[in-house]
Structure 1
Amino acid sequence: MHARAIAATTTALLGTAALLLPLSHARADGDRGSPTVIAHRGASAYAPENTLAAVDKAAEMDIAWVENDVQRTRDGELVVLHDDSLQRTTDAEEVFPERAPWKVKDFTAAEVARLDAGSWFSPAYAGARVPTLQQYVHRVEIHHQKLLLEVKNPELYPGIEKQTLKLLSNEGWLDQRHLADRLIVQSFSADSVRTVHQLKPGVKTGFLGTPSVADLPAYAAFVDQINPSYGSISGGYVSAVHAFTGAHGRPLEVFTWTVNDENTARLVTGYGVDGIISNKPDVVRDALPSA
């Protein structure tokens, strides 16, 4: 996720939110104590982001939730990568020097599969690959983990919501067991999240951003979570979000990002957030009070 500009100002949020009281609500994992901890792009401070190695590292740390980003290749394969370009996290520039700006949508799945997605991070991960979404959910399933899936740049990939849901269905991720507490689909695009909700109403959804309190009723019609950057929120804003009922008849939740230190983890926990997304999920977990 990018730390992009958020529309609502803190002053406006506090002014409205102070008038609203939070309702009781459960965490994404059913716990009413400490926030859920989510490994951002896997445990991405310790292994190359969005790779199977990052999923494995999160599992080693006993982190139940992992977050990822989904994009699409030229020939229609869903792959797990944050940027819409391959340049930052692979050796695409070396392997395909004439293909600038190395956009994911301009490469086939076979071409992407040739790339080294680990050496940029550390020589220890040389040879790591960009996983397909199918490979990624297989690995998450092996570890009995849970998935916070971001539909990335949906404007670049018409129909990606339907395609993603179809793949998840084919892999068994849209059964009742997964829908109950193992899958959330989110996006910075409200239209994309709304499309997911319309196509598969049983899927839990989140909007990435900090909508104004006045706009929350509109979001609540198709989302279950409001997931803002930690610097854009306050206790009053979190309380205001909790006061609204989401698409599945429960109070809206707040998963905040990207928190990587103990002090910030404790700060947002004090705000009452339901989840904390982190590159260092072990640091965040260890900073939180016991459930």
Structure 2
Amino acid sequence: MNLRAKGLHKLAGHAGQAGLVLLVASVSVLLWQPTDMAWWAARLLGVAALLLAAATLFLRPPSGQYPWHRIFGWAALAALAAHIIITTGFQPVFWRWLTPAIPVEIVAGIVALLAFLVVMLVQRSRSLRRQLGPFSSLSVHRTAGYLLIAAACTHIALIAGMTVFAAAALLAGLTFLLIEGFLRERHPFRLAATLALFSGAIAWLAMGSMAETRLASLRQAPIDHARFLHTDHTGLACAGCHHNFVDRTGNENCLTCHKRVSISETTRVDGMFHAFCSDCHRTDKRAGRKFGPIDDCNGCHGRSPSGEAGK
């Protein structure tokens, strides 16, 4: 190994270490954020899958040493599988997201899952490795791993409750890990093209030509599909939620105006409401007051029209 290669290898190592530290810092902040008790397990397993997968990428399998790469990889798969099982078990409403209006963060989570399947398929399938060749199969394996990390970070950064500081640290950690990947990959253009396609697809869904199609079904959805109970919020000032309470009558439903949001908006309608409602409930929980659902979808969407939400 020449002097330049040694320097790049050392720089890549420092970048990977910085990325892991930033990821740990960001998810630590996320775990500190209040949530529903039943949601802690899903959240913890989700961030564990991300950190284990990131560590797996950083700890590439050197010959003749203890196989931490493989151990961390299987642990990441187990954590991801448990995260999906718990999420779908606690949230049967999850299947309603699989529509043209599916939130971007859920799309990113599905991409992360598919990328993990590609990682495992290339690693476990001897016939596939023979067809691709040793160097190409290894490149596909690693490229899918970096796509997994990018998609998982996007998924976590966009979920409700992620503070600006935590999201910035998360994306910074992702950036350092990608720098490490580009410095050490033999096929950086394949990695760059894969990440560019993923970023372009997310932008197309969120703000591109597909956004209007996705929002059309959302605008046609029932106005109060969450069955918001005003009787649970009699202690709040109406103007705190209804800005038209000040300038008009205050009788209109929130979504009457908000569902007309333009595709130029960077935040989806449901994302706006999820952040608004869950942040208010988090504030109440921190203050020791009675609070409503935070991350529990069924707490708002799964109740009967006349039922009371669990507190």
Structure with larger Rg = 2
- TM-score interval (norm. to shorter): under 0.3
TM norm structure 1: 0.25
Larger strand proportion of the pair: 1
